[in-house]
């Protein structure tokens, strides 16, 4: 049964310090947010104060940290902050940053968890999005292997292994509630090895690392007489990293994740698989073709959406297009070798996005309005779409002002990306 309401915070709270990888001093300020917004970072140090939603579509890098955003808006090392947000089950939050990376603080999740506790997590309106798993599945990413199974809460069973006398092979199991996270995971600090320092610095990383914000290991043990908070502090930190990376699904997760040698890359692969394989509750009702035709003006042969299967407030939508050999365009594209035209794949994606945009005008006469797409950027086609395929389009609202919006869309067939695009659209009267 879904919780009764979404959660934000009552008042603002802030932490400040140096970023682990960028070395830039930054203040992170937590602010209450309206129900349905989700978790959004705002770069107040940049012109226009650009916003980056904490979503999988924004993941930019997974080497030694999880980074989201693009170009100058990139935000590094979001996993510690997001783990604390997820542990408090906060659904809607604005995080203002005065730099490119939330501060590393003492290297653990605890300062963020305590700052959010001070901000007063509180119920707002609307239902939270809950991801549940209908059946077990496996994800492999490099040396990382995961099994994800149904559960009534978020449970982690984690194993790590390093050829170091203080680590070796460590395993542990944790149920992620606010209380358990605070006691068992939040104080666990990030760690690294003396042997890797020069290599990481050469790649532009760990510019802000110090003995005050990370556990440093030499060949024999802890460098410079540092003390561990638990003998398996390394394991606990890697477990909490999973919580932070999975928060990029934008949902509360109810599943048992069994992780062998987890990594940020593997965690993100699991998050993507969860988003595709899970059942979603707390979202708006599904929309069949009748409802779609009430909203969109398109008709045969140009109505290219068959069903809307997920809606998360006004932030995200998932729609389905079933591709059959009866499609009229297959007569000419191409005889004997039917392939769905790329322009129609993007058109179908845009129609799903139109359904999301029309949601902003709920309660008005949507039949008197139409969506015009104004621009397409970063369009990529990854593989052909052929008869018998079912395209799953996932679109997220990046920005909405007045009657104009920016959306990011991705199309999948059998879990593989077939197309992606950034779109700008506006709503006009018919």
What pLDDT sits at residue 365? 60
> What fold, for 289-429?
Thiol Ester Dehydrase; Chain A (3.10.129)
Which pLDDT score is estimated for 285? 45
Q: Is 264 annotated as catalytic?
A: yes
Q: How many percent of the chain have pLDDT more than 90? A: 71
407 within 8 A of 314, measured Cβ to Cβ: no
Structure tokens, 246: 């999975």
Domain 7-123: give its CATH superfamily: lpxc deacetylase, domain 1 (3.30.230.20)
Active site includes 76?
no
Q: Can you give the pLDDT at residue 296?
A: 87
Helix (H) or strand (E) segment spanning residue 197:
helix 197-202
Per-residue HEC secondary structure of 19-33 comes to: CCCCCCEEEEEEEEC
Greatest mean pLDDT range, 284-298, 308-322, 374-388: 374-388
Instruction: Specify the DSSP element, H or E, that contains 276.
Output: helix 264-277
Query: Backbone phi, then psi, for 150, in 5-degree steps?
Result: -60, 145
User: Ramachandran region of residue 48, left (φ > 0), alpha (ψ -120 to 50) or beta?
Assistant: left
pLDDT per residue as tens digits for the range 53-109: 999 888 999 999 999 998 999 999 999 999 999 999 999 999 999 999 999 999 999
Catalytic residue among 118, 164, 298, 333: 333
pLDDT the model gives residue 283? 43
For residue 359, what is the DSSP state? G
Q: From the candidates 21, 264, 298, 337, which is the catalytic residue?
A: 264
Question: Which residue is listed with tokens 């939603």?
Answer: 53
| Domain ranges for the chain | 7-123, 130-281, 289-429
Quick one: fold of 130-281?
Answer: lpxc deacetylase, domain 1 (3.30.1700)
Model pLDDT, residue 172: 97
The phi and psi torsions of 398 (rounded to 5 degrees) equal: -90, -40
94 within 8 A of 81, measured Cβ to Cβ: no
Lowest-confidence segment of 53-57, 362-366, 387-391 by average pLDDT: 362-366
pTM: 0.70
How confident is residue 375, by pLDDT bands cut at 50, 70 and 90?
Answer: very high
The per-residue pLDDT for 369 is 80
Contact criterion met (CB below 8 Å) for 37 and 92: yes
Nearby residues of 390 by Cβ (< 8 Å), 6 or more positions away? 320, 321, 322, 323, 413
pLDDT at 39: 94
Residue 275 pLDDT level (bands cut at 50, 70, 90):
confident
User: Quick one: tokens of 51?
Assistant: 């916003």
pLDDT more than 70, % of the chain: 95
Rounded Cα distance between 184 and 113, Å, is 13
User: pLDDT tens-digit profile of 399-424?
Assistant: 888 788 999 999 998 878 899 999 99
**Cα–Cα distance for residue pair 202/209, rounded to 1 Å:** 14
Tokens of 416: 């593989």
Mean of pLDDT values over 214-219: 92
Euclidean distance between CA atoms 353 and 423, whole angstroms: 9
pLDDT tens, position by position, 151-173 = 999 999 999 999 999 999 999 99
């Amino acid at each position: 049964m879904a919780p009764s309401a979404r959660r934000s915070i009552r008042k603002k709270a802030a932490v400040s310090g140096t970023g682990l990888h960028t070395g830039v001093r930054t203040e992170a300020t937590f602010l209450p947010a309206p129900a349905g917004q989700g978790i959004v970072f705002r770069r107040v140090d940049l012109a226009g104060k650009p916003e980056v939603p904490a979503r999988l579509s924004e993941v930019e890098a997974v080497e030694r940290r999880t980074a989201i955003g693009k170009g100058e808006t990139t935000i590094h090392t979001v996993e510690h902050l997001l783990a604390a947000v997820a542990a408090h089950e906060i659904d809607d939050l604005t995080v203002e940053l005065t730099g490119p990376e939330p501060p590393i603080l003492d290297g653990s999740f605890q300062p963020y968890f305590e700052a959010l506790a001070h901000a007063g997590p509180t119920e707002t309106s609307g239902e939270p999005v809950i991801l549940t798993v209908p059946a077990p599945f496996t994800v492999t990413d490099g040396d990382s292997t995961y099994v994800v199974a149904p559960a009534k809460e978020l449970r982690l069973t984690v194993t790590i292994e390093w050829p170091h006398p203080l680590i070796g092979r460590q395993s542990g199991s944790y149920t992620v509630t606010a209380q358990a996270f605070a006691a068992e995971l939040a104080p666990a600090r990030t760690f690294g090895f003396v042997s890797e320092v020069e290599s990481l610095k050469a790649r532009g990383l760990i510019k802000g690392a110090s003995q005050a914000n990370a556990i440093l290991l030499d060949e024999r043990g802890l460098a410079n007489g540092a003390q561990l908070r638990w003998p398996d502090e390394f394991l606990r930190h890697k477990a909490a990293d999973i919580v932070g990376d999975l928060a990029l699904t934008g949902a509360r997760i109810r599943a048992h994740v069994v992780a062998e040698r987890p990594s940020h890359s593997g965690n993100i692969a699991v998050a993507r698989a969860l988003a595709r394989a899970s059942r979603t509750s707390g979202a708006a009702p599904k929309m069949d073709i009748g409802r779609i035709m009430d909203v969109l003006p398109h008709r045969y042969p140009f109505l290219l959406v068959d069903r809307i299967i997920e809606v998360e407030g006004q932030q995200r939508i998932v729609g389905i297009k079933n591709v059959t050999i009866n499609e009229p365009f297959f007569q000419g594209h191409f005889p004997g070798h039917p392939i769905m035209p790329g322009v129609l794949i993007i058109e179908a994606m845009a129609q799903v996005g139109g359904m999301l945009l029309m949601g902003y005008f709920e309660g008005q006469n949507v039949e008197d309005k139409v969506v015009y797409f104004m621009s397409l950027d970063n369009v990529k086609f990854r593989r052909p779409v052929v008869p018998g395929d079912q395209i799953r389009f996932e679109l997220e609202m990046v920005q909405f002002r007045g009657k104009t919006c920016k959306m990011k869309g991705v199309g999948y067939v059998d879990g593989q990306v077939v197309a992606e695009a950034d779109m700008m659209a506006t709503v006009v009267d018919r």
